[in-house]
Amino acid sequence: MIYIRWFLFSTLFFTLLNVLSVSHIFGQKSNSFSSEKEAVSGEYEAKFDELLSRYEMYGFSGTVSVVKNDQIVINKGYGLADLQNKKANTVNTLFDVGSITKTFTAAAILQLERRGKLKTDDLVSKYLGEFPPDKSSITIHQLLTHTAGLELDAADVSSTPTDSRAEFLQKVKNTPLVSIPGGKYNYSNVGYALLANIIEKVSGQTWQAYLRKNLLKPAKLKRTILYGENSNNFSPALGYIGSTEEDLKLEESLRQEREDSYSWRKYLLGSVGVITTTGDLYKWWQALHSRKILSEDARRKMFTIQTGTQGFGWNIGMTEKEITRIYRGGLRGSFQSLIAYYPKENALLIFALNKNVGEGAPLWTSVGWANLEKIILGKDYVLPPKITRFPPEKLTSFTGEYEIPSGEKFIVRAENNSLIIGASGQSAVNLLAYSQNAPPKFQSEANEAGKRIVELLEKNDSAKMKVADYLAEKNLAALQAKWKEWTNKIGELKSVETLGTSPGARDFVRTFLKLEGAKDSVVVRLLWDWNNKKLLAWGDDIPLPAITKFSPESETAFVNFDFNKSQTIRIKFQQSAGGEIQGLVFPLNNQKGEIIARKIK
């Protein structure tokens, strides 16, 4: 799940809700929103489409809907639902919406409370049997607000997809808590699976059957299916996942190992389980603010901060005086989604995506939400440069090796519609990795430390390695085993070339060295926490430092756009009169001047 938590605390919220009715804060009139038609109109509306169309050039894939003052601003699909068959995302495309499912599970619980079937203050043991003493005080309220102290996922309670519902429940009971019930916030998908279990116990129906009859049908969600239901009439989007656009892989379809299990692969029913369109998500939002699903008291309860920033199934952001945002995000493997409402602007943002790209936080969710929200709030945002497409043969003409005056090199290769450029040598690395700011002063020290580690590994000098204190003693054996693997591949070590130190994740840096052997060569990577001068990890899976992707902007100009920093690097190639590529022009740090790399191969 994607857990975007903006921890804004306020003791004034409950006072505010006593003054303002829920219908006043969230009032949504019924309009002619249609999940069957794409819509973009007006100058304000065009800003969204322009931004999303630019994102689409870089790989953005999904459907986006924005409603402001009860009018459709944009309702449109981008990218592909099926890469292999070139099937486009449209407003009719269904997406797995991950943790947005929790809003459905929470609504079902509140609905059952209204019908007198349970109380949110009830002990969970009233419905799911006796719990051990440490868990005996857990309430439904605590499950709804992630304050029961339960573990996060099925694997954390040692549950597998082959467990029955009863076996899963027993494992939850047997697993130690991470905090005392009611003590503090610990996001828990396990807790929402228990809520699904309670819904089934109280209603006498499966979670799917109850939601279908009591939520989906009255809300008229005609393009929504639940896990286990037939999807043949809808063709949901396929999901793709990878660290970059170049290594995307089709995600395996979800399945249930046994019919009476709560697990779909590693995901738990109740915490996930809804597959729908952005249009139906809008209808769901409207239904929650009518009397179709919840009474006004139940609705007030759902959208009131119960603890921290948690309502029932929703996150609520506040300043000291007002609600700024009500939202629920979803992440289920390759799929991401969001419903976010901005009361002051009376604007609703909904998106559903079928690509999970990036190392760490999914790129398109974090970037897309941040900048779409800026448009809603009237703030400045950065538009990525336009890029174009080249035929493969044209792109190949730019590939090869380019040498800067110091003798260091850039290596350029073509991949899909981009050039992938890596560096060999610290000055070349800095042109790629630190084009917008000065490189760190410790680079030469890190490079020397890398060579020193290789020297000690070659001599098998464990004593001096311990004295150097670059890594914990318990990790030394693992590094020595990796060294043996490298030398078995390359044979007798002949030379070591320092390729340079470049940025890694967070504040870490990576030093690259090329080991040339009698039989072969290998580029090794050492990941440093240089603030503490500690070696964290090593590998041989990245061929060059500072590898950067550049997309074609014009006939000889290429751009790299850093979505997280909103920064652009532009490079251009020099051509002869006959059109032959002769050189590569790089901007110097902070765009002050340029340097020419001559094509040598």
Residues in the chain: 601
Report the distance separating Cα 127 and Cα 201, nearest Å. 7
pLDDT < 50: residue spans in the chain:
1-30, 32
Which residues does 532 contact at the CB level (< 8 Å), separation at least 6?
none
Report the distance separating Cα 517 and Cα 496, nearest Å. 9
Q: How far is CA 378 from CA 41, 372, 415, 424, in A?
A: 18, 10, 38, 44
Distance of CA 291 to the CA centre of its chain: 34
Query: Is 87 in contact with 195 (CB distance < 8 Å)?
Result: no
Instruction: Find the helix or strand (DSSP H, E) in which 578 lies.
Output: none
Compute, in degrees rounded to 10, the torsion defined by CA atoms 275, 278, 284, 289. Answer: 160
pLDDT value at position 21? 35
pLDDT tens digits for range 303-339:
999 999 999 999 999 887 888 999 999 999 999 999 9
* Range 404-413, long-range pairs (CB < 8 A, 24+ positions): 404/428, 404/431, 404/586, 404/595, 404/596, 404/597, 405/595, 409/597, 409/600, 410/584, 410/586, 410/597, 411/544, 412/584
DSSP tag of 133: G
Report the distance separating Cα 585 and Cα 109, nearest Å. 62
Nearest Cα neighbor of 246 from 101, 417, 88 is 417
Which residues does 24 contact at the CB level (< 8 Å), separation at least 6?
none
pLDDT value at position 361? 73
Phi, psi at 318, each rounded to 5°: -140, 155
Q: What is the DSSP string of 32-53?
A: ---TTS-EE-SHHHHHHHHHHH
pLDDT tens digits for range 141-153:
999 999 999 999 9
pLDDT value at position 313? 97
pLDDT value at position 40? 57
**What HEC string does 440-508 produce?**
CCCHHHHHHHHHHHHHHHHHCCHHHHHHHCCCCHHHHHHHHHHHHHHHHHHCCEEEEEEEEEEECCCCC
Residue with tokens 């001068």: 533
CB atoms within 10 A of CB 306: 18
Query: Is 328 in contact with 99 (CB distance < 8 Å)?
Result: yes
Integer-rounded Cα Rg, in Å, for the chain is: 28
DSSP tag of 89: P
Phi, psi at 145, each rounded to 5°: -105, 10
Query: Is 534 in contact with 547 (CB distance < 8 Å)?
Result: no
Is the backbone of residue 563 left (phi > 0), alpha (psi -120 to 50) or beta?
A: alpha
CB atoms within 10 A of CB 291: 12
pLDDT tens digits for range 506-528:
789 999 999 999 999 999 999 99
Q: How far is CA 92 from CA 278, 338, 372, 427, 446, in A?
A: 8, 17, 21, 51, 53
In sequence order, what are the beta bridge partners of 19? none
Report the distance separating Cα 426 and Cα 450, nearest Å. 13
Which residues does 467 contact at the CB level (< 8 Å), separation at least 6?
none
Report the distance separating Cα 340 and Cα 309, nearest Å. 14
Q: How far is CA 527 from CA 501, 503, 534, 539, in A?
A: 9, 9, 9, 9
pLDDT value at position 471? 85
Query: Is 599 in contact with 402 (CB distance < 8 Å)?
Result: yes
Distance of CA 256 to the CA centre of its chain: 24
User: Considering the chain, what percentage of its residues have pLDDT values greater than 70?
Assistant: 92
Q: Residue 581 is encoded by which pair of tokens?
A: 């590529």
pLDDT value at position 25? 43
Report the distance separating Cα 261 and Cα 266, nearest Å. 11
pLDDT value at position 34? 52
Report the distance separating Cα 529 and Cα 537, nearest Å. 10
Report the distance separating Cα 136 and Cα 181, nearest Å. 9
DSSP tag of 566: T
Domains and CATH numbers, the chain: 13-29+38-243+271-377 (3.40.710.10), 386-601 (no CATH)
Query: Is 439 in contact with 433 (CB distance < 8 Å)?
Result: yes
**What HEC string does 371-386 produce?**
HHHHHHHCCCCCCCCC
Q: How far is CA 180 from CA 75, 114, 139, 147, 453, in A?
A: 44, 29, 12, 8, 46
Q: Residue 315 is encoded by which pair of tokens?
A: 């996150």
pTM to 2 decimal places: 0.85
